[in-house]
Amino acid sequence: MNLHEYQARALLKAAGVPVPDGDVASTPGEAEALSRRIGGTVVVKAQVHAGGRGKAGGVKLAKTPAETADIASHILGMQIKGLTVHKVLVVPAADIATEAYVGLILDRDSQRPVFMVSPAGGIDIEEVAAKTPDKILRLPVDPRFGLLPHQAMALAFFLYTDIKQVRAAADIMQRLYKVFVENGASLAEINPLVTTPAGQVLALDAKISIDDNELDRRPDLAELRDETAEDPAEVAARRAGLTFIKLDGNVGCVVNGAGLAMATMDLVKYYGGEPANFLDIGGSSNPDKVVNALKIITADPSVRAILFNIFGGITRTDDVANGIKTALAQFPVKVPIVVRLTGTNEKEAVKILQGIGMTALSDMDEAVSKVVALVGEAA
């Protein structure tokens, strides 16, 4: 789960990382009041889960409270990469002497949190990594010992020479690491970490992603989720215990298991079709999940046919068949449905489907090629 900049800022601030003054506003009036409180020139920053906000016109300077209100009224409601801006962050326009990059990721290979820092900050770190890899210092942290003081200093020395700034940055590294570990982050970035002409070290922008697995035990973090920034269908799916990702095609897919769901999408493509979604109903056998899955898929007007691909293991195929039966009784499904199911309680499932006039296929390739053909006919 990605946090908004203002949320990431709040976590860092609570951990003692120096961030500029400022706060978030949902209306031009709030933004104006903040601007007045802060005084001087401020920056108004769109809060959306998208990179390149600046280029998209989502980050602007405002010299007066009135101008802040004006700019906020433009940015609020703006679309950036398909996402509507609902909030802006208003912060003082900082004088910047230098910009550095500080990132901390959960690295799969080393199975550790890994710091990446670079004095070339404020820009895309992947670009720096590709073009000037010697400008990045990479440091894995052994979670048994945590970030050791000399490691924090080594990271800081890579960014600064002035010992006061080095110590300030090392302190920020320690606090960032603490935020990362205590909140189960998969990514925590300060970009840019700036120095002011007076020599202060400040986190000017921050990005934090929380491991979704962390949210169950951390309702305080789960509350930070901004569902207005997500596809409504994906929100509905998550609430129903489904994993759903909207795609551009027209073949709706209902599958049990993430790997099989991906392989099903791939097979749709293989047979010349285009999947409309990724949808994993998970391992449990709840007919309600199937009903909800069908509701979500049929709400997508581009879906021309629906494919079920169920390999019964923990999932009982008769539960899935019952779910289809219940759904069709509750609401009309106007596109054809192709069902493939095999495994646990397959015979019972086939009977249930036959009872409502449907046939069940047992071969994945047969089912996929059939659904692709149906879409072709409909077109």
Partner 1 sequence: MSVFIGKDTRLVVQGITGRDGSFHAKQMMEYGTKVVAGVTPGKGGQRFEGTVPVFDTVAQSVAATGANTAVIYVPPVGAAGAIFEAVDAGIATVICITEGVPVIEMTRVMPFVRERGARLIGPNCPGAITPGQAKVGIIPGSICTPGRVGLVSRSGTLTYEVVNQLTRAKIGQSTCVGIGGDPIIGTNFIDCLRAFQDDPDTDAIVMMGEIGGTDEQKAAEFVRDHVTKPVVGFIAGQTAPPGRRMGHAGAIISGSSGTAAEKMAAFEAAGISVMKRPADVVPLLSARLK
Cβ 252 to partner 1 shortest distance, Å: 14
Output the CA torsion 297→300→302→307 (10° steps).
0
348 Cβ contact list (under 8 Å, min separation 6): 317, 318, 321
Contact between 148 and partner 1 by CB under 8 A: the answer reads: yes
* Site pattern 335..374 for partner 1 (x: CB under 8 A): -------xxx-------------------xx---------
Closer of 314 and 378 to partner 1 (Cβ): 314
CA distance 312 to 285: 9
Q: Which of 30, 32, 99, 189 is catalytic?
A: 189
CA distance 121 to 175: 19
Q: How many CA atoms lie within 13 A of 275 on its CB side?
A: 24
Task: Show contacts with partner 1 in window 212-231 (CB under 8 A).
Answer: 212-214, 216-217
Q: Are 365 and 334 in contact (CB under 8 A)?
A: no
∠244-248-254 over CA atoms, to 5°? 35
189 is catalytic: yes
Closer of 26 and 284 to partner 1 (Cβ): 284
∠311-313-318 over CA atoms, to 5°? 70
CA distance 175 to 12: 8
* Site pattern 157..196 for partner 1 (x: CB under 8 A): x-----x--xx-------------x--xxx----------
Cβ 268 to partner 1 shortest distance, Å: 8
CA distance 242 to 245: 10
Q: Which of 6, 101, 160, 177 is catalytic?
A: 101
Contact between 92 and partner 1 by CB under 8 A: the answer reads: no
Cβ 359 to partner 1 shortest distance, Å: 20
177 is catalytic: no
Closer of 56 and 260 to partner 1 (Cβ): 260
Contact between 314 and partner 1 by CB under 8 A: the answer reads: yes
Q: Which two tokens stand for residue 126?
A: 């992947």
Contact between 136 and partner 1 by CB under 8 A: the answer reads: no
Question: Could you say which of 55, 109, 301, 357 contacts partner 1 (CB under 8 A)?
Answer: 109
Q: Are 346 and 312 in contact (CB under 8 A)?
A: yes
CA separation, residue 183 to residues 107, 117, 213, 218, 223 (Å): 16, 21, 11, 8, 13
Contact between 211 and partner 1 by CB under 8 A: the answer reads: yes
Contact between 323 and partner 1 by CB under 8 A: the answer reads: no
Q: How many CA atoms lie within 13 A of 113 on its CB side?
A: 29
Closer of 95 and 127 to partner 1 (Cβ): 127
Site residues for partner 1 per CB under 8 A: 106, 108-109, 111-113, 126, 142-145, 148-151, 153-154, 157, 163, 166-167, 181, 184-186, 211-214, 216-217, 243, 245, 247, 255-263, 265-270, 275, 278, 280, 283, 311-315, 342-344, 364-365
Catalytic annotation, residues: 101, 189
